[in-house]
């Protein structure tokens, strides 16, 4: 009996030694599509939203201009895939319209782009609040949705969709505990665009981030503070008429965009148009 007990103890000791040699087991990580699904279910898609926000835009930090300009904007979200944002004060007047996979942007009375820049994509997780659409948008922005991992960000553990081993790859970050999107990394014209979402607040069952920061190559270029947002169920179709913008405004001089209607799968090759993303 004693001999058998000794053999059993030796066997258990060998198993323990092999386990230690192999190292700790890798924590189970949800797959990318599942993470995206949890995030969109958390923030909930209403019929529509109206958002009022203050937007501060940096001068040219690379060129030494440390000044900031401030405007107020209104955003109209008509789900599942329509959005209009428009400055209500400040110059120049800027209008952006998404209608499913089409986009147009007007600034200073001229059409400046029909393809979104990396900085324009901050509304993607806020507009495309279903798994299929958001997954398609993320893939179009370069996120490899077949890869996922757990990473730390701002003292929190996050699910990360995308290849974190490649520091130039696009990635989508979701807080593991709250399931709120907290960061979206992409590249545009060789520049690194980072979008941060903070201070999520709720109206009824719908959540929206009250603070959004956009950085280009680690420099903050846009700061958004939401004043208020409310649910809305009915909008005029003219708010989201991309063709009206394309046909009503002249093309901005110096713009190289073909001004063809944007498609989601064009985003990786879209011509950037913001001053930060145009810099060589």
For the segment 48-80, what is each residue's pLDDT rounded down to a tens digit? 999 999 999 998 756 666 788 899 999 999 999
Q: Compute the mean pLDDT over every residue in the chain, rounded to the nearest whole number.
A: 84
Q: What are the structural domains of the chain?
A: 27-263 (2.50.20.10)
Helix (H, G, I), strand (E, B), or coil: what is residue 44? coil
Torsion (CA) 223, 228, 231, 235 in degrees, nearest 10: -70
pTM for the predicted model, two decimal places = 0.80
pLDDT in tens, 177-203: 999 999 999 998 889 999 999 999 999
Higher pLDDT, 44 or 18: 44
Question: Is residue 259 pLDDT above 70, yes or no?
Answer: no
d(CA 111, CA 113): 6
């Amino acid at each position: 009996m004693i001999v058998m007990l000794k053999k059993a103890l030796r066997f258990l000791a060998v198993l323990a030694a092999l386990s230690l040699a192999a190292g700790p087991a890798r924590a189970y990580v949800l797959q990318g599509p599942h993470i995206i699904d949890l995030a969109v279910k958390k923030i909930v898609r209403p019929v529509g939203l109206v958002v009022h926000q203050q937007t501060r835009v940096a001068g040219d930090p690379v060129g030494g201009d440390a000044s900031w300009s401030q405007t107020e904007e209104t955003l109209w979200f008509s789900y599942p895939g329509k959005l209009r944002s428009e400055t209500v004060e400040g110059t120049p007047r800027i209008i952006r319209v998404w209608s499913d996979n089409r986009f147009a942007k007007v600034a200073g009375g001229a059409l400046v782009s029909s393809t979104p820049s990396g900085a324009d994509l901050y509304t993607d997780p806020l507009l495309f609040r279903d798994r299929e659409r958001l997954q398609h948008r993320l893939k179009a922005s370069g996120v490899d949705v077949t890869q996922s991992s757990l990473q730390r960000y701002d003292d929190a553990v996050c699910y990360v969709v995308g290849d974190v081993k490649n520091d130039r790859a696009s990635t989508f970050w979701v807080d593991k505990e709250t399931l709120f999107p907290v960061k979206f990394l992409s590249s545009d014209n060789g520049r690194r665009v980072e979008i941060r979402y903070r201070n999520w607040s709720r109206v009824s069952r719908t959540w929206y981030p009250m603070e959004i920061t956009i950085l280009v190559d680690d420099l903050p270029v846009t700061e958004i503070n939401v004043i208020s947002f409310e649910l809305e169920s009915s909008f005029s179709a003219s708010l989201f008429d991309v063709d009206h913008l394309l046909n009503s405004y002249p093309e901005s001089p110096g713009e190289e965009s073909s001004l063809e209607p944007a498609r989601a799968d064009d985003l990786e090759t879209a011509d950037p148009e913001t001053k930060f993303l145009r810099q060589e």
